[in-house]
Amino acid sequence: MKLIGSKAEREFREELINSNVSLNTDGKRLNYILKNAGYDVSNSYVLNYIPEQCEDIYVLLISGSYVLHVEVDKFDSQVEPAFERVELNDYLHSLSKIHQIQMAVAMDLVKT
């Protein structure tokens, strides 16, 4: 998908840049969890965040290589987070138009 500089693209770019800053902030729980599991967060972005009653679910683009679903218990830090890796091609297949735009912006950020 070709980027055209639309308002939606600019909004996604700002959100994704902010998510990258947060992911790379030492002391943040998600930063700690990902680094301890061996994931490189330096060029990674949060595509989606789903707060549930007992856990938080994150969907992340990791270094432009694959998508990672992370489920983190909200109340018990002793519970191991659940990770599910999804290959980029598999993830891209089921995206809506707006999420395709978000992914195109995220991939552009990975390249720059």
CA distance 80 to 50: 18
Global pTM reads 0.91
Q: From the centroid of its chain, how far is CA 6?
A: 21
- Asked if 34 contacts 22 with a C-beta cutoff of 8 angstroms, the reply is no
Centre a 10 Å sphere on the Cβ of residue 86 and count the other Cβ atoms it contains: 14
In contact, 44 and 23? CB cutoff 8 Å? yes
pLDDT of residue 16: 98
* Mean pLDDT value of segment 78-97: 94
Type of residue numbered 62: I
> Given the structure tokens 């432009």, which residue do they identify?
64
Q: How far apart are the C-alpha atoms of 1 and 48, rounded to whole Å?
A: 20
Query: Binning pLDDT at 50, 70 and 90, where does residue 77 land?
Result: confident
**Predicted confidence (pLDDT) at residue 18 exceeds the cutoff of 90:** yes
Mean per-residue pLDDT over the chain, rounded: 94
- Across the range 8-18, mean pLDDT stands at 97
Please report which confidence band the pLDDT of residue 112 belongs to, taking 50, 70 and 90 as the band edges: confident
Contact 105, 9 (CB under 8 A): yes
Is pLDDT above 90 for 13? yes
Would you state the pLDDT for residue 50? 96
